[in-house]
Amino acid sequence: MATRLASPVDAKEKVTPAPGEQARGILPYAQAGEGRLVSLDTFRGFVMFWIVGGGALMAGLQALKPNFLFDTFVYELNHTPWRGLRFYDLIWPSFMLMVGVSVPLSFAKRSRTHTYPQMLRHALKRFAVLFLLGSLRESLHKGAPYWVELSSALQPIAVASLAAFLLVRKSQRVQAAVGGLILAAYALVLAFVAAPGIPAGSLEPGVNLVRYVDIKLLGRTFPVTDAWGTIICTLPTISTTLLGMLIGEWLMSSRSKEDKVKMIAGAGFFCLAAGYALSPSVPIIMKIWTTSYGLASAGWACLMFLLFYWAIDVRGYRKGSLLFGVIGANAVFIYMFTSLVPLRRWVSICVQGLAGTTGQLEPLLRAVVVLVVEWLMLFWMYRHKIFIKA
């Protein structure tokens, strides 16, 4: 279902807002207006679409009819090998941002019937579930136990969502300051801390502090050809989630929708400008989440979310939102389903018989069938109000 904004509550059941909360523009939970943030579910589904089959769909179109347009789509739907920024590099930050947006909304909803200690226990439970799901996904993928694998999305989301919850009752100034300090501290550590065989400031594949820490603490790391970082580069992901939390609080405020649009746009363009301004000295590298990458990707994620918010919740253009909305409503489920169930292989077996007559149509046919099966399954769950969350 679409994420609900705050709604009327019984005063004896709600969590007391932090001091100064009204001063920073957030309505008391008992007075906040009823509403649905349809744009958040739709944006989540749009981003998840490219993971669960949209990329394969574009690759199938490219195989059928190579041209500049499809070549560009496929290029953008693959991660940058090291330095640079493509659309696919924005998917993970977009999820971190959306997690942040949902934290104050969820906090407001739960405060109707739960005390803060109860909500803290729920947050800790959610952290554990997401972390273990990340472990399960990676262990099955690698064929060996991988308890800690912070280079995939679920475990960083677990860490960042818990951090955001612990800060949700703090002032927006504190939240923004924490996010900025994390990015600044991370940049300084990479710039000035050396390690054996690794000079301070080295950001090359296989020769950087992130890789060194992974080897020391985990006893393993990714091959140099893939070079994903794991442990310390999880910290700057928290900053993107805290930015999302600020946006969630702005959306819950008494400001007009036009003012909210301006604030989100301002945050997005500020992060973009800061990230690209910093990039000549601190390269944009997703795989170790450099500070310039954290800023630039958060900026793009902000502006993408803003487009959905403006179109759906401000202008009211909701036709077609169901296409992505049903995916976004069960994002964790479909992410785990596509990771654990070999649907593509099963579909491939079914369409292989057509290979002799369809030739290069097979990759496209396979991608379409997979997407249709996934979407119909999610639509059935949506219609029956089955929502599987951590």
Note down pLDDT in tens along the chain; length 390 residues: 344 343 333 333 344 444 444 444 444 333 333 456 889 999 999 999 999 999 999 999 998 888 999 999 999 999 999 999 999 999 999 999 999 999 999 999 999 999 999 999 999 999 999 999 988 888 887 777 778 777 778 999 999 999 999 999 999 999 999 999 999 999 999 999 999 999 999 999 989 999 999 999 988 777 777 889 889 999 999 999 999 999 999 999 999 999 999 999 999 999 999 999 999 999 999 999 999 999 999 999 999 999 999 999 999 988 888 999 999 999 999 999 988 888 888 887 777 766 555 567 888 888 999 999 999 999 999 999 998 877
What is the chain's alpha carbon radius of gyration, rounded to the nearest angstrom? 21
Beta strand 207-208 pairing with 203-204: antiparallel
Taking the CA atoms of residue 128, residue 326, residue 380 and residue 126 in that order, the dihedral angle to the nearest 10 degrees is 10
CB 164 within 8 A of CB 95: no
C-alpha separations of 54 from 78, 89, 198, 379 in Å: 12, 15, 39, 17
Separation between Cα atoms, residue 66 and residue 76, nearest integer Å: 15
CB 112 within 8 A of CB 14: yes
Taking the CA atoms of residue 204, residue 210, residue 213 and residue 214 in that order, the dihedral angle to the nearest 10 degrees is -100
What is the pLDDT, as a whole number, of residue 27?
A: 46
Residues 6+ away with beta carbon under 8 Å from 333: 378, 381, 388
Residue with token string 């949506």:
382
CB burial readout 20-38, b (16+ within 10 A) else e? ebeeeebbebbebeeeebb
3-state secondary structure of 218: helix
How do the domains of the chain map onto residue ranges?
A: 3-383
What is the pLDDT, as a whole number, of residue 359?
A: 63
DSSP class of residue 354 equals G
